Each structure stands twice: as structure tokens, then as C-alpha cells.
Structure 1
Amino acid sequence: MTVDAVHEPFRTQFTVRVREGHSLLGVDLAAPCRYTSGNGVDILWMGPDEYLVLGPALSRESADLERALSRESAVLAVVDVSAQRNVVRLSGAHAADVLAHGCSIDLAGSPPGTCVQTLLARTGIVLMVREDGFTILVRQSFTDYFTAWLADASLEYVS
């Protein structure tokens, strides 16, 4: 198989608004259109003062993560948005080819660490470029459509 899609259910997700600062949870804040990783979280740049903190699967530690974020001196607000988006990991030799069927982002020119909000097959997504593939965050209400589109776009690459 040259394309592999894996659903990562129940990921902890917090929208964090900051007044200014250089890090959250000991992880550097991401530059525009980028994400940073460390200490078990990804920090995605979503706007000038807005970040999405993507943590592990929901668990008791999710509340600890929320408390830790709330204690950060630069943080203005923390909102749990874990139920808002589903997370899908796409990897394999043809993962970028599949995404190119419905996405206008130049994935060949997007190095690992890139994070963009874009449309994929008329569906709003957050796309993270990783060393080993892509992480796609899709709104809960579009998941069925996205899954069907992904299966269709992958057909020619599945052996």
C-alpha cells in the first residue's frame, strides 16, 4: 500500500490566545504558517495571537494540560475545542499525490513544520506537513464527506 490514512481519535485540542510571549509549556511558539513540537504537544500557529495546542488522546492528563496552559503568564484565554475537529494522519509514498487531487497548496515546496488552513475538496482543514507525511484536522461535521473523498482520491495509489 502506498497511501495510509489513520484516524487519531479523541485528540486533546485547545485554542490558546496569547498577549505576547515566546513559548508555551516550554515549547517555542510557532512562526506564521508553522507548527512546533515538544513535551508531548504540537503548537500550531492559527493567527497573530492564536495558537492551537494539539495534545495526546483525551485522558485525565487533558485537564492537567488545560491547567498548565491557563497558568502561563502570556495566556489570555484557553478554550477546549477537542470535539471540534477530527485528526487524520496520511502517509506513504503517494500521500502528497492524494492531497494534490483536492488541495491548491504546493506540497512539494512546503517543508516539514508547515501548518496551513486551507480547503481540501471544498472542506476547510488544517494541514500539517510532517517528516513522515501529513496530519489533517477536519471539522467534525465534514468527517464523513472527507473520508469518502479521501478513499476515492486514494484508489489509483492503492495496490
Structure 2
Amino acid sequence: MTAELATTHPLDAHATALTGLARDTDGGLSAEVLPTAQSVTLRLDPAGPARAGVDAALGAGLPTRPNTWVAAGDGEVVWLGPDEWLVTSRSGNAAVSEAALRELVAGEAGGAAVDTSAQRVVLRIGGRLTRELLSFGCSLDLHPRSFPAGRSAQTLLGGAGVLLLARDAAADADGGAVLDVHVRSSFAGHLADWLLDAAQEFRDDPAADPAAAPALAG
């Protein structure tokens, strides 16, 4: 008799501690593990004949400015390189499925669409201390003047390779930053451990308020 294998999320063991960040930092930080999204890595020539059909299917133009992303339905299209994008959908929209996109780029040299849904998990970090927390383990300038909403970056955070997406600050009730952190599933536990350890700086700290991080304030 074959035993059934239970499906688990890479961050199941960290869920309680991550949820507790908002309480432990007096609302200065929040961490949400987003539901697994359908993700497709897409390759095509942005000036090629398939571009128009892909834009129409996504309901958004592929971003061609380096290190940017755009909303597309309930997901995003993220620039990864001159001819490469990450396309996500939270609802499993058939228009952005691997099969649909592969059909659109099939006739183009170098065109490809590969389902990478299991490759990454996403943490949404929010709150007035978000940028300061991430700056502890990231060499990029995360000041909103340098990394505003709509920007993305492939970088290292706490020693793990990540994809950062800066979201609209208005989405955070405290007016702080909201950043999505895409990390490889195999590194998700390491990154969660790093985030929780780095956040110790702000736990029960009376200095953990907007004035505590003037260099990274809006």
C-alpha cells in the first residue's frame, strides 16, 4: 500500500512567527506569505511579430524598461532581461497559462514559455520599517527615490537570490512601503529565518517608529 504524501508549503513552519511580526513590532512590520501563483517565464523578441498577441492576452504591455514591472489582471509581468519576463496570475487565468503563451510565441525564433509556478514563493513585507529591515541584507539603495513603486530588482537578500517588487506605498495602512520578495522555494526557509532574526532589531523597541529610519523615509 502506497502512503499518501501530504502537500506542504515551504514556509508552513514559519507562518506563525511571520504573522506575529506586526504584533511584535507595534505594526512597524508585517509579513504575508502569498498564495502560490501560476507563473510562466516568457521569452520573445519585444520587437517581433508575437509581441502584439502577447500584450493582448495579458491585457498589459510587456515592460521593456529594465528592472520594472506592471500589473496584469490579478498578477504581474516582471522584466527579467531584454527578451525575458516573469508572468504571474493569482487566479490561474487561462490567458496567461503556459500553453496559451507558448502558442503565441511558437512561431518566433527564440520564443518560449515555461511554467515555473513551483519555482518561487512570495513574501509580502509591509510597514513603516520595511525598507530599513531589507537594507540590513540587501546592497541596493531601497530609498523610495531610487526604488519607487513599479521598480523591480534581481538581487541578494540575506544571502539568498531574490526578485524584489516595489508596490504602491498607499497599499500599506501605515503609509509605509510594501515590497514583494520572490525567493526560490529551496531558499524560502533560510530567508524567513533571516527576516525574523533581522526583525529582532525592532521588537519591543521604543525607537521603532517612523523617526527611527530617517534615511529611508518617504
Report the Cα distance in structure 2 between the residues aligned to 1:128 and 1:134, rounded to whole angstroms: 6
| Residue correspondences, number | 156
More strand by proportion, 1 or 2?
1
> Normalising by structure 2, what TM-score?
0.66
Report the Cα distance in structure 1 between the residues aligned to 2:130 and 2:124, rounded to whole angstroms: 10
Residue of structure 2 aligned with 1:69, choices 93, 101, 126? 101
- Report which stretch shifted further, 31-40 or 74-83: 74-83
Instruction: Provide closer, same or farther for how the CA distance between residues 40 and 72 of structure 1 changes in structure 2, counting only shifts above 3 A.
Output: farther
More helix by proportion, 1 or 2?
2
Query: Contact between 1:2 and 1:158, CA under 8 Å: does it hold in 2?
Result: no
Flag the structure with more relative contact order, 1 or 2, with Cα contacts below 8 A and sequence separation at least 6: 1
Identity, % of aligned positions: 33
Amino acid at match of 1:72: L
SS of the residue aligned with 2:90?
Answer: strand
Gap regions ≥5 residues in structure 1: none
1:12, CA displacement in angstroms?
Answer: 1.2
Report the Cα distance in structure 2 between the residues aligned to 1:55 and 1:158, rounded to whole angstroms: 34
Q: Does 1:47 align with 2:73?
A: no
- Alignment map for 1:15-26 (pairs within 5 Å): 15-20=41-46, 21=51, 23=55, 25-26=58-59
1:33, CA displacement in angstroms?
Answer: 0.6
Report the Cα distance in structure 2 between the residues aligned to 1:71 and 1:157, rounded to whole angstroms: 49
Instruction: Report the equivalent of 2:198.
Output: 153
Residue of structure 1 aligned with 2:66, choices 19, 28, 32? 32
1:69, CA displacement in angstroms?
Answer: 2.3
Give per-residue Cα distances to partners, 1:3-32, cap 9 Å, x unaligned: 001001311111001122363512011121
Report the Cα distance in structure 2 between the residues aligned to 1:55 and 1:40, rounded to whole angstroms: 6
SS of the residue aligned with 1:149?
Answer: helix
Query: Contact between 2:131 and 2:142, CA under 8 Å: does it hold in 1?
Result: yes
Larger radius of gyration: 2
Report the Cα distance in structure 2 between the residues aligned to 1:83 and 1:131, rounded to whole angstroms: 26
- Alignment map for 1:52-131 (pairs within 5 Å): 52-56=86-90, 61=92, 63=94, 65-66=96-97, 67-72=99-104, 76-108=111-143, 109-131=146-168
